[in-house]
Structures are given as structure tokens and as C-alpha cells.
């Protein structure tokens, strides 16, 4: 089997709730609670789930923007979880991020050429002419003209700004791009253009993506595999088409029913998911979905279901799937 670009094992993040002058931890928010997955070269794994499920925290931990509480993050087989900032430097160029908000993520005081060229300068030295040529080539890859280098972010539309963000991420020729809701701030008419750009770049450069989204239509467009998260756990993971057309976990079924995807092959039954996501400060016992699951039975509140293989390449965590027939 090909070495994964990224593998995370038992990844956990508990945030302290601090009180008093000494800021003692009086409780812990269990934002991510033991997550495992791997991404192959050239593959897109989509992390999906409702707001607060922990998907963005996972994305930030992969980049070490948020430090994990426990678990391992392996890039190309090397455990980077506890590397110092200096030791991380060679790995930083291998993983880049595209952010949700193309307005907030670009420095408004810098010209586009500086924004895109800055990561290059951190790792390489070259002449001004070489720099201009490199930046121009990257801008061309994302569909922008070389003249864009001399302009400021405010002079561009939302979709163009996200192209600039992608160009910046692309500058160092990473193996993996972590994209956190990269099209959710864009008009629907522009979303498909940006998704298609990402897919074209993936094909050209063999890029892998960890793609965080709450929007199943977006995931349907760009994903190869889907990992569904609920309250800090992955509850189902598998190939996109199989998960979307034949979801096995009740939460995945509810998510899909709530956000129908225009796919005539998919047979979906209406299933309403009641209530809000419980607080990760005090998550439900056993299966964390049991307070909202229409199929919950006694065992569900007592015993946490394991994320186990239900078919080749597919795993789900539900006691119903343990029952014969």
C-alpha cells in the first residue's frame, strides 16, 4: 500500500475551561476525542459534520496551529506531533492551508505578489526577476493574470481572493492542502469554479486534500472519501459514493436527509434529526449520538460503539451494525 501523505492516530484535543485568578482548569471541552484516518497521495478526504463537531480543530491540529492533547500526526511516516518549531520547518512547506474567509485571510496591506511570494522567500533565495516569474507562473495556475501581482486584495472579488489564497498555498508545492470550508463564504455561482480549480490543481500536482465542509453538495463535488464527525468522534468513514448513496450510521443518514444531494441514484428516506448538538463539555455517555438518535436502545447510553469495519474500506460506529441481519 502507498505510504499515506497524512495519518492521524488517536488524535485528541481537550480545551480547559479555566476559572479564578490562578486560571485553574475546572472542566474540559472534549472537542476532538480520539480520531484516526489516513490520506493517500492525490486523495481528497472530506471531514463533514455540524458546527462544533470538531472538524476544524482536527484541521488546525494537522498544521500544528492547535496543539493536540494526545495522539499522533504523521506526515509521510514521520511523527510531527511533538517536533519543535525549528524541527517543523521542513514539514511546513509540505502542508499548506486554505482558509474559509478570503477577506480575512489575506493581509490587506500587501500586494498580491508579496502575499504569494512570501512563503517562497521563507524557504528559497532568488533574484527579483526570478521571483516575479515564479509568482506570475503560480498566479497563472489559479487563473489570474500576472498584473494581479501589483494589486491589493481589496481590488478583487471573493472568488478571485480565494484564488489568491490558493496560489499562496500552492507556492511551496505542498503534498497536502488543508482546506477549511474554503468555498462557504463564496457565492454559489463562484463555488463550483473554485472547486473545479482545486480539482484541476490536484490532478496536475498530485495534491492531497483534507477538506473540511458542512455542505454535502460541496463534498459530493470534490471528495473521494468522507469522514463524518459527531461531537469529536468519527462515526462513519468510507468512499464518497458509498457513504452518500448508502449511509450506514444513523447520524450520516440524518445529515444526508437534511441536505439532499441532487443524485438520482441515491435512495433516501426522510429522517428528521431532533435537537441541538449536545455540549462537548459534558458529552453524552456511551454513543454520543444517543440523545438524538431515533433508533437508540438501552446499550447505546451505556457502551461506546467502536468504529469498526462494515465493508472493505468502510467503517462505522453504531451498535445496530453489530446485530445480525
CB of 293: closest distance to ligand SF4 in angstroms?
Answer: 3
Pairing of strands 44-48, 225-230: parallel
CB of 316: closest distance to ligand SF4 in angstroms?
Answer: 9
Kindly tell me which of 168 and 233 has the beta carbon lying closer to ligand SF4. 233
- Give the count of beta carbons closer than 10 Å to the beta carbon of residue 146: 14
CB of 291: closest distance to ligand SF4 in angstroms?
Answer: 8
Kindly tell me which of 35 and 287 has the beta carbon lying closer to ligand SF4. 287
Q: Which residues bind ligand SF4 (CB under 6 A)?
A: 249-250, 287, 289-290, 293, 295-296, 300, 305, 318-320
Residue pair 11/36 in contact (Cβ under 8 Å)? The answer is yes
CB of 157: closest distance to ligand SF4 in angstroms?
Answer: 42
Residue pair 97/169 in contact (Cβ under 8 Å)? The answer is yes
Kindly tell me which of 99 and 230 has the beta carbon lying closer to ligand SF4. 230
CB of 245: closest distance to ligand SF4 in angstroms?
Answer: 19
**Cα radius of gyration rounded to whole Å, the chain:** 21
Kindly tell me which of 200 and 303 has the beta carbon lying closer to ligand SF4. 303
Residue pair 235/253 in contact (Cβ under 8 Å)? The answer is no
Kindly tell me which of 82 and 301 has the beta carbon lying closer to ligand SF4. 301
Q: Where are the beta strands (DSSP E) in 92-154?
A: 95-98
Kindly tell me which of 21 and 272 has the beta carbon lying closer to ligand SF4. 272
CB of 266: closest distance to ligand SF4 in angstroms?
Answer: 20
CB of 210: closest distance to ligand SF4 in angstroms?
Answer: 25
Dihedral through CA 240, CA 245, CA 251, CA 255, nearest 10?
90
Rounded CA separation 222/236 (Å): 18
Rounded CA separation 55/128 (Å): 40
Kindly tell me which of 75 and 287 has the beta carbon lying closer to ligand SF4. 287
Q: Which residues pair with 227 in a beta bridge?
A: 47, 237
Q: How deeply is 246 buried, as exposed, middle or buried, from its count of CB atoms within 10 A (0-12, 13-18, 19+)?
A: middle
Instruction: Retrieve residue 55's grid coordinates.
Output: 472538524
Amino acid at each position: 500500500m502507498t505510504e499515506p501523505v497524512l495519518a492521524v492516530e488517536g488524535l485528541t484535543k481537550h480545551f480547559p475551561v479555566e476559572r479564578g485568578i490562578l486560571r485553574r482548569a475546572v472542566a474540559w471541552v472534549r472537542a476532538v476525542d480520539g480520531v484516526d484516518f489516513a490520506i493517500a497521495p492525490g486523495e481528497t478526504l472530506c471531514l463533514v459534520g455540524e458546527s462544533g463537531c470538531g472538524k476544524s480543530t482536527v484541521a488546525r491540529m494537522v498544521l500544528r496551529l492547535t496543539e493536540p492533547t494526545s495522539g499522533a500526526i504523521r506526515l509521510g511516516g514521520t511523527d510531527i506531533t511533538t517536533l519543535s518549531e525549528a524541527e517543523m520547518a521542513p514539514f511546513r512547506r509540505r502542508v499548506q492551508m486554505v482558509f474559509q474567509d478570503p477577506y480575512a485571510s489575506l493581509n490587506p496591506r500587501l500586494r498580491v505578489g508579496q502575499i504569494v511570494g512570501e512563503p517562497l522567500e521563507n524557504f528559497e533565495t532568488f533574484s527579483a526577476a526570478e521571483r516575479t516569474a515564479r509568482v506570475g507562473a503560480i498566479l497563472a495556475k489559479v487563473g489570474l493574470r500576472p498584473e494581479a501581482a501589483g494589486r491589493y486584495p481589496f481590488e478583487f472579488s471573493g472568488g478571485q481572493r480565494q484564488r489568491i489564497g490558493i496560489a499562496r498555498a500552492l507556492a511551496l508545492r505542498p503534498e497536502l492542502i488543508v482546506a477549511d470550508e474554503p468555498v462557504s463564504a463564496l457565492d454559489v455561482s463562484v463555488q463550483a469554479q473554485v472547486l473545479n480549480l482545486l480539482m484541476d490543481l490536484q490532478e496536475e500536482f498530485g495534491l492531497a486534500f483534507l477538506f473540511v465542509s458542512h455542505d454535502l453538495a460541496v463534498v459530493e463535488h470534490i471528495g473521494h472519501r468522507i469522514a463524518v464527525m459527531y461531537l469529536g468522534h468519527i462515526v462513519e468513514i468510507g468512499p464518497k459514493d458509498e457513504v452518500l448513496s448508502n449511509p450506514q450510521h444513523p447520524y450520516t443518514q440524518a445529515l444526508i436527509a437534511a441536505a439532499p444531494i441532487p443524485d438520482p441514484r441515491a435512495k433516501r428516506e426522510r429522517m428528521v434529526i431532533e435537537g441541538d448538538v449536545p455540549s462537548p463539555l459534558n458529552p453524552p455517555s456511551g454513543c454520543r449520538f444517543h440523545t438524538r438518535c431515533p433508533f437508540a436502545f438501552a446499550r447505546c447510553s451505556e457502551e461506546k460503539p467502536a468504529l469498526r469495519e462494515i465493508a472493505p474500506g468502510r467503517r462505522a460506529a453504531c451498535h445496530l451494525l453489530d446485530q445480525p441481519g
